[in-house]
Structure 1
Amino acid sequence: MPEPNQRMNTGVPGLDDILQGGLPGGEMYLLEGDPGTGKTTIAMQFLLEGIRRNEPVLYLSLSEPEQELRRSADSHGWDFSVVPVVEFIPDEASLGSDEQYTVFHPTDVELSSTIDRMSAEVEKAKPTRLVIDSLSELRLLAVDNIRYRRQLLALKRFFAGRRTTVLMLDDRTSDGHDRQLQSIAHGVIRLEKLARTFGVTRRQIEILKLRGSTFREGFHDYNIHYEGVIVYPRLVAAEHSTTFEHTVVQSGLPQLDKLFGGGIPRGSSTLIIGPTGSGKSSIAMQYAYTAASQGERAIIYAFDEVLRTAQERAEGLGLDVRPLIDAGTLAMSQVDPAELSPGEFIWQIRRDVEDRHTKLVVIDSLNGFLNSMPGETDLLLHLHELLAFLNQKGVVSLLIMTQHGLVGTMQAQVDVSYLSDTVLLLRYFEASGRIRQSLAVLKKRVGNHERTLRELTFQDNRIQVGEALEDFQGVLTGVPTYLGNRPPDSAVGSSQRETFLGN
């Protein structure tokens, strides 16, 4: 049996993390939330974790029949028959004409008698873990708030010294905010649902209080899966500092590596920004392919493109990614922003880095990530912690962002350039009646980089980066001017002319 105040695992993945080790034992806790937020599921996981640890447990149900609880457990693949359940709800005989104005048996109408029955069941079972579901039924039995509070205080005194950790469920159907109950409980956990105009409901959990204990404050995303409730703790990058070798990652394209001053430093983030179709994803794929070919695990999170299309595009550029995927050094994950919360997405990246030792992460694109967020402010906060975490782990992160427009002045959904260590800009431009592409490194926090523009081409089934476009001005405007001594069509005659004209 756990000692008083000893941390008890809740059985809910991620919840013990934000509780800094679990719930202090021997106390009363309030788990509140609207109907459908997963309170009963968490309560089941809490008791099943006690069963796994050979602890006596008890479920006191005032709202749901035992049969419904069993069916709910079956939907998650759990054997709930190992958990003792005591019902405080009427049977068929109690619904006669003389008793039609109450949902409780006549002997249980008074709150005090119900408390007495609950106390007797606890005395008999002597559980280490106890669930009371739900306090809304007790509130209905109370004549007034004063009596309700006094009975709850009496219940708290009853459990004091018994080494029983009590989880009280409340669906907030009365007034939505029971301050009396929150003040009595040792800790308060709140579950919330946030409606979205499209896609799945976003769920968040918050620890409102935990007396005498530290916990991770703020909102944390969670979901209800077949495995039960899974919490995705808010990422705090400062908690994940580590050491790594400060080398550079190369692309396998010498001219592109020259732009970056030799390569992209490990533990840095690079923003690849430009209009749609300008080659952003192809360049990111080139880096991921090269890293995976050298035995370092790389992963691409695709928001905007079907994986089959991305693989076919890579193979069309001479990047045979399928053997690397089969070998496990390259992974590609399809992300649906309508089905995934930001917290769950960041948790997936964290697991890939910490558990699978991933060294290069591609997010394609930030536009898709933005669509999964409730607001731009949250996006920037999530990205700030994510990039700081990846940098401290020595991971190279490539972030793709599509700008609105094709040539000339362009706009992005949100400015994230200041969060990135390096910015690679891609642009379309027109010359000799043909649409071409250029790229340049605008910013690099660590080390030197070229301040030139180079042409990007896709020919001969591969990505090619040309020489610096030194004889042209206004390339970023979309309509460049040739500044050489002779017309480019007949007089350049150099590798630069061939690069620029694509001949």
Structure 2
Amino acid sequence: MSRDKVASGIAGLDQVLDGGFPRNRITLVEGAPGTGKTTVGLQFMLAAAERGERALFFSVAQSEGELRMIAESHGMDLSKIWVRSSEIDERPEDSAISVDSSESSLAQLVHDVTEAINTVKPDVMVFDSLLELRLLSSGSVAYRQNLLALRQQIRQAEVTALLLDHVADDPASGHEQGILHGVLKLEAILPPIGSMHRRLSVVKMRGSKFREGYHDFRIRSGGVSVFPRIVPSENDRGSVTLEQLGIEDETLSRMLGGGLEFGTTALIAGQAGSGKSTLSTLFARQAALQGKEAALFLFEERPEIFQARSSSLGMPLEESMKSGNLSLRHYDPTEVSPGEFCRDVVAAVEHGARVVVIDSLTGYLNALPDRDNVLTHLHTLLQYLARQGCLVLVTLAQKGLLGEPPVSELETSYLADSVIILRQYAHRSQIRRSIAVLKKRHSVHERGIQELVIRPGAVEVIELSPEAAESAQAAQEMTGA
């Protein structure tokens, strides 16, 4: 890390800030109540203390007891941090310093801040929060003067500082962004269903690189985790040879022109029960058996049900999972943000995954309120994975049952290099499945329609008889991919 930066104590945030907060500079951390400002400040302090630096947390907004309660909920130990709070400390033997802010005038508060800095001589500090400073000031002009005075004290002490503040419509607010060196904004959005969606952005950071845009984050037991926005060009491996994933099934291999290429995305679309998950599992298992790692991200089936179903179809996954060549991860779509999901996929690739399966895109997107932005996240993720030489398989459920035209609410075919269409159709007294390769950019492929057979102990593609082909063709002619 650069000597000009101080680590935030949050790995993802350090990525966003290109190494951390600017050293000996003041950064404003603003957000509504509950967005995680205090937790970010505590993690910053703890990281500094672990490095052997002197850390001061000056809180006017919360008592020392309240700060310790927050810290304990995350398993944080504040014994190495100097805390100045708004109540008289009941344990004088403690290393903390406390202030009775209920009796303090603004002048007294400024004096207490100065005394704390001179006494502790901190390397890093947090001031929580500017709201109280604003309320104690007689007006907008006075607040600006007091803020400038606070900035001057911190600068003279050569401290790397975070000033926490509530986002407000108060006309006295707004001076901070122009006066201070950097601004980090935290936001929390409550969706109609599911957990809070939290995101942050760097409004400015003078003279310092940072990653622009919104970055999702989550508050868990242990603190804040930040998931930096994916940039497709990061860690670009340069030119990628379009090596194919070979397929044992001769008919399917021939339909695909030999197989699917690494560095591309394949979309498997079809109605309910047409075999999308089964076909994607066949590809992933084929990769694992060839010694290439595959990571499956499930949004509909639980892993134990997925494994049992795969085994019943002659595709046991246990051995590949034990060897580390295949992994399963299940998500509740309402509990994971797009940024967190994208970073989990990136982490799997960084650990060696060459094949990535997302099953299903429909289950994921239907649970999220901001669908358009999620598609942008996904498009960015797919571009990144292509640059890493991964083969990505995405399943898409289409509406409509047997005999009904299939409909896709989402326009996703532009995301894919290959598109495989699955259908169900009636033939005599049976319901059968058909398969066709609608699109394939990187090799010649067959455009015929064949039968996908899914039965106990086996999954295979067989050539249709002329009679059955007529029924299958009628089903495949219905668009909606």
Length-normalised TM-score, structure 1? 0.88
Q: State whether structure 2 residue 457 is matched by structure 1 residue 456.
A: no
- Paired residue for 1:391? 386
Say if 1:57 and 1:84, in contact at 8 Å, map to a contact too: yes
In 1: Cα distance, 2:346 partner to 2:210 partner: 20
Q: Distance in 1 between matches of 2:68 and 2:79?
A: 7
Following superposition, the deviation at residue 237 of structure 1 comes to: 0.4
Counting aligned pairs with the same residue, the percent is 37
How far apart are the structure 2 equivalents of 1:400 and 1:84?
53
What do the CA deviations read for 1:436-456 (whole angstroms, capped 9, x no partner)? 111010001111111110011
Query: Contact between 1:221 and 1:343, CA under 8 Å: does it hold in 2?
Result: yes
Distance 2:174 2:212 in 1: 19
Aligned residue number for residue 300 of structure 1: 296
Q: Determine the structure 1 residue equivalent to 2:78.
A: 80
- Amino acid in the other structure paired with 2:101: F
Q: How is 1:91-490 mapped onto 2 (pairs within 5 angstroms)?
A: 104-106=101-103, 108-109=104-105, 111-172=106-167, 175=170, 178-243=173-238, 244-354=240-350, 356-406=351-401, 407-459=403-455, 461-467=457-463, 472-473=469-470, 475-478=472-475
Q: Is the 8 A contact 1:267 1:390 kept in 2?
A: yes
Distance 2:390 2:463 in 1: 29
Q: Which amino acid aligns with 1:309?
A: I
Distance 1:202 1:410 in 2: 33
Q: What secondary structure is seen at the aligned counterpart in 2 of 1:343? A: helix
Shift of 1:54: 1.1
The DSSP-based 3-state class of the residue aligned with 1:14 is helix
Letter in 2 for 1:287: F
Distance in 2 separating the partners of 1:61 and 1:174: 22
**Cα distance between partner residues in 1 of 2:315 and 2:170:** 61
Matched, 1:60 2:67: no
Q: Which residue of 2 aligns with 1:495?
A: none
Give the direction of change, closer, same or farther, for the CA distance of 1:460–1:364 in structure 2 (3 Å limit).
Answer: closer
Query: 1:330 Cα deviation (Å)?
Result: 1.0
Number of aligned pairs? 464
Supply the distance in 2 between the matched residues of 1:176 and 1:300 (Cα, whole angstroms). 51
Contact 1:430 1:478 (8 Å CA) reproduced: no
Superposed CA RMSD in Å reads 2.0
Structure 1 residue 420, shift from structure 2 partner: 0.4
Aligned position for 1:494: none
Q: Secondary structure of the equivalent of 1:368? A: helix
Q: Say which one has the larger Rg.
A: 1
User: How much has 1:460 moved relative to structure 2?
Assistant: 5.5
Deviating more after overlay: 343-352 vs 466-475: 466-475
Deviation at 1:178, TM superposition (A): 2.5
SS of 1:456's partner is strand
- The one-letter code matched in structure 2 to 1:54 is G
Q: 1:260 to 1:52 in 2, by over 3 A?
A: same
Per-residue Cα deviation, 1:311-352 (whole angstroms, up to 9, x for no partner): 111111111211211222111111110111111011100000
Secondary structure of 1:80's match? coil
Deviation at residue 139 of structure 1 after TM alignment = 1.2
In structure 2, distance between residues paired with 1:429 and 1:130 = 68
Tell me the distance in 1 between the aligned counterparts of 2:137 and 2:176.
14
Shift of the alpha carbon at 1:273? 0.1
Q: Contact 1:452–1:468 (CA<8 Å) still a contact in 2?
A: no
State the Cα deviation string for residues 393-432 of structure 1 (Å, max 9, x = none): 1111000000000234211120100110000000111222
| Matched position secondary structure for 2:211 | coil
Instruction: Encode CA deviations 1:104-145: one digit per residue, 9 max, x unaligned.
Output: 343x22x23311220121012111101001111111111111
Contact 1:127 1:164 in 2 (8 A): yes
In structure 2, distance between residues paired with 1:210 and 1:460 = 60
Tell me, what secondary structure is at the counterpart of 1:48? helix
What is the CA–CA distance in structure 2 between the aligned matches of 1:57 and 1:91, rounded to whole Å?
18
In structure 2, the gaps of 5 or more residues are 91-99
In the TM superposition, residue 227 of structure 1 has moved relative to its aligned partner by: 2.3
Q: 1:479 to 1:284 in 2, by over 3 A?
A: closer
CA shift for structure 1 position 468: 5.3
Q: Letter of the aligned partner of 2:474 in structure 1? A: T
Asked if the contact 1:26–1:165 (Cα under 8 Å) also holds between the matched residues in 2, the reply is yes
Could you tell me the TM-score, scaled by structure 2's length? Answer: 0.92
Separation in 1 of the partners of 2:445 and 2:291? 27
CA displacement 1:354-383 (0-9 Å, x = unmatched)? 1x1101111000012213433232122111
Separation in 2 of the partners of 1:474 and 1:21?
61
Report deviation, 1:28: 1.1
Cα distance in 2, alignment partners of residues 186 and 470 from structure 1: 74
CA distance in 2, matches of 1:337, 1:264: 28
Q: Give the Cα–Cα distance (whole angstroms) in 1 for the partners of residues 77 and 71 of structure 2.
A: 7
Q: 1:20 aligns with which of 5, 11, 18?
A: 18
CA positional deviation for 1:75? 1.5
Q: Return the offset for 1:240.
A: 2.8
Measure the CA separation in 2 of the matches of 1:403 and 1:225.
35
Instruction: Classify the secondary structure of the residue corresponding to 1:160.
Output: helix
Q: Is the 8 A contact 1:59 1:131 kept in 2?
A: yes
CA contact (8 A) 1:204 1:220 kept: yes
By how many angstroms is 1:387 displaced?
0.6
Alignment-mate amino acid for residue 129 of structure 2: S
Does 117-126 or 167-176 show the bigger shift?
A: 167-176
One-letter identity of the residue aligned with 1:172: V
Instruction: Find 2:36's aligned residue among 38, 43, 47.
Output: 38
Query: What is the deviation of 1:76?
Result: 1.3
